[in-house]
Amino acid sequence: MWRTLQRALVVTIAGAVLGLAANAVSPRRIPYIAPPVVNVPSDFIPFDEAQALWRSGEAIFLDARAPADYAAGHIGNAFNVPAENFDAHYSPVAGMLTPASRIVTYCDGLECDLSHHLTDRLRQLGYTNVHILKNGWTVWRNAGLATSTGGQP
Amino acid sequence: MKRQVLAALVAVGMFSLNCRADEPAKPEAAPSGGPKIQLDKTVYDFGSTSLVSKLEGVFIISNVGDAPLEKIKAQPSCGCTSAPMKTDKLAPGEKTELAFTVNVGAMNRGHLEKHITITSSDPKQPSVNLTLKADIVSVYEFNPQSIMVGDLRLGSSTNTEIQVKRTDGKPLGVTKVEGAGTFVRTKLEATEGSNTTAIIRVEIVAEGVARRFNDSVRVFGENATQPLLVIPVGGRFVGDIALSQESLFWGVADSENWPGPRGEIATTRKIIISSNLPDQKLELTNLNSSIPELKVALKPVNEGKSFELVAILEKLPKESATGTIKFDTNLKSQPQLEIKVSINILKRG
């Protein structure tokens, strides 16, 4: 009985030592201490909620992409405020907004950061109710919702 | 003892199998025939970098197969990356360079990661994902990071200051500071006893006509064309009367079911009209809307000081329309005010 336990212990220790050694040199090693989970408040608005805001006209939708991309197709009733040329395009839209206005920004692609840049800029200006519709143009188009082409509405 | 060693080896083998079970499958060995794409690397890591406006690099694409590699395309993940292919076809053994540029833009700190997808006629690996990454480290700290002055009466001005610090120990290196607009006046002042810090004094002068402004203070180093820092400056120049909004927009998504379940939210817009004159009572008269379907009314909020203009679109015009809401005031500086109105009705299909 004692001998069996001894064997089991040796097998367990040998497996653990070699497992830890393999983990230490593995490019996909598992950390021994998991990093703390940080809850970051989300800037993103769920698609259903964005759709409801759009239907009621409660929020103004801002397309953060370049004018050529906007002209080729955009969410219906959205205005174009390109994040990379904010100063030139902000003023006409600003007249429609108050600091508390609900604003939804979007661009295209899961990695697109133009809507983030636009949101940051609007928040700097004092708008407190700005949300991002992630991958906005693609999800909107794929959902078959109303779209427009050409210039500002 | 032999049995113990054997058992230990079996345990290790099982552990290793478990560890590797979720790793992505490696591409199989080169096929005996057909085209085969090969890249010199799939990750381009720029490491830590600072004071850059763009990142550039080159990937080498080769055809190591024994048939022509065709339909080679490079698709960046965002508009900020350009990666034009020199050719869309490679003969066996041929190579081409894929030069890319990532526009870093105004990003002066944070982790940057972009991707380029290469597609081709390689039957085993029809698409390859390339990763471009960098940690942008700012060597400048500035406080505040933006200047938002809110409403500023025409004829008045406001002063503020920005503290700038270089954090890598090198001299500050700021050569010039300027406001993008003529009404933003700036002055750079060195900090006594320090060559790594300075103060930028900013004066915003409310001149011209009442308007919103969105400008910037630009801080330059040795390179006189590309600013080191761009600090946004924003606000509104107002006259004797301030409006909470200067124009109204109705975006109608579904005209057949107007106004829908959120009735009042959809139909009603409100604007606060307030006087900036402390000693004069504000009176508003002759309110009217040029769009017949748009009903307008004024309600006093603070007697003689501010009013709420309520605009209700109870019924939709037949088509999209633009127009104005006008009213007269008793103030000589602004005897009549006009609010632009736009109603955009989306058509089905």
d(CA B38, CA B63): 6
Residue A103 confidence (pLDDT) above 50: yes
Query: Which pLDDT belongs to residue A40?
Result: 41
pLDDT band of residue A6 (cuts 50, 70, 90) is confident
- pTM of the entire structure? 0.68
> Which residues does residue B113 pair with via DSSP β-bridges, in sequence order?
B133
Query: Which pLDDT belongs to residue B25?
Result: 38
Token representation of residue A53: 């805001």
- A58, A65, A117: residue with CB nearest B265: A58
- Across chain B, what does the average pLDDT equal? 86
> Which of helix, strand or coil describes residue B3?
helix
d(CA B119, CA B73): 5
Residue B120 confidence (pLDDT) above 90: yes
* Alpha carbon B209 to its chain's center: 28
d(CA B222, CA B228): 9
How far is the alpha carbon of B280 from chain A, nearest alpha carbon, in Å?
26
**pLDDT, average across residues B239-245:** 92
Residue A63 confidence (pLDDT) above 80: yes
Question: B243 φ, ψ to 5°?
Answer: -110, 140
Residue A34 confidence (pLDDT) above 60: no
d(CA B94, CA B51): 37
8 Å CB contact between A54 and B250: no
ipTM above 0.95 for this complex: no
d(CA B206, CA B155): 5
Query: Which pLDDT belongs to residue A23?
Result: 66
Tell me whether residues A58 and B260 touch, CB distance under 8 A: no
Q: Does A139 touch chain B (CB under 8 A)?
A: no
User: How would you class B22 by CB atoms within 10 Å of its CB: exposed for 0-12, middle for 13-18, buried for 19 or more?
Assistant: exposed
> Which of helix, strand or coil describes residue B189?
strand
Whose CA is closest to B230, among B67, B125, B104, B343?
B104
How far is the alpha carbon of A36 from chain B, nearest alpha carbon, in Å?
20
Q: What is the DSSP letter of A85?
A: G
Query: Which pLDDT belongs to residue B2?
Result: 57
